[in-house]
Amino acid sequence: MVIDRLFSGLRRLREERTLRRRAIPDDLWNLTVARYPFLSNRSADDLAGLRELATLFLAEKEFTGTQGLAITDEIAVAIAAQACLPILRLGLDHYNGFVGIVVHPDEVVARREVMDEDGVVHHYDETVTGEAMEGGPVMLSWHDVATAGESAEWGYNVVIHEFAHVLDTGDGAADGIPPLPDRAARDAWAAVIDAEFNAFCGQVDAGEDTLLDPYGAEGVDEFFAVASEVFFVAPGDLRLEHPALYDLFSGYYKQTP
């Protein structure tokens, strides 16, 4: 216990030093918040907490640009601010499983392979704007990150999508169930999200227009990620159309955006 307290005390000192020495400059922070309505809508308290988390996030994570993209402060802060929104009340420890963030100028074509039931491997190309690999880097398209202010209107946000996957896989399984305190909490979560997911797949199959990206019908893990996007960037819409999901997420994320 004494040792635990010593370590958490030392850690707090280290964090305070990072916050002092590597604070995000006022101008850059204000510009970042202003370009994303789902950030500028937040209370002054939320934004102060988000700025601290983003500062610590920037000190811990390693950014790499591809295809000649230089990682500017503008890019790094835009990503950090959005990535830290889901963990505003959960803490940065939830992102301990990875260090690298790879930023492409735009969407990329990823070569995929699948094996069919006869054991034959098929190759195909998939265009992706982001990807979160377990323990590996989080990949993002800067074009999609940069335009997240406009795309919030239709509930699209690549950063929140990929970091929702990071949270989901925090317990080792990509199953739409983030780490929860106990079995009862996991069962309660599964009951709500499975019912919502099944109803959603029915709507998508019927060709109905949906608030959530139809991509969410690919699996319950994708459903959790696309619903998390809407929870943070168009929360009023989610509360109206999926109140049970909104309540589930506000309990987990400890936020009512």
CA–CA distance, 257 with 233 (Å, rounded to integer): 8
Nearer to Zn ion, 47 or 102 (CB): 102
- Window contacting Zn ion (CB under 5 A); options: 86-94, 147-155, 197-205, 220-228: 220-228
- The number of residues that bind Zn ion (CB under 5 A) is 2
Collapsing DSSP to helix, strand or coil, 100 comes out as strand
Q: Using the rule CB under 5 A, is 79 a contact of Zn ion?
A: no
Nearest CB to Zn ion, comparing residues 47 and 103: 103
CB of 99 to Zn ion, least distance (A): 20
Nearest CA to 138 out of 88, 82, 68, 89 is that of 82
C-beta of 52 vs 222, nearer to Zn ion: 222
- Hey, CA dihedral for 98, 6, 22, 28, is it positive or negative? positive
How big is the chain, counted in residues?
A: 257
Residues 221-250 that bind Zn ion (CB under 5 A): 222, 225
Nearer to Zn ion, 49 or 214 (CB): 214
* Cβ–Cβ < 8 Å for 36, 149: yes
How far apart are CB 73 and Zn ion at their closest, in Å? Answer: 27
- Helix axis angle, 44-60 to 73-83, nearest 10°: 120
The minimum distance between CB 173 and Zn ion, in angstroms, equals 15
CB closer to Zn ion out of 77 and 164:
164
62-65 sheet: strands from edge to edge? 62-65, 100-104, 138-141, 130-132
Shortest spacing between CB 215 and Zn ion, in angstroms: 7
Site residues (CB under 5 A) for Zn ion?
Answer: 222, 225
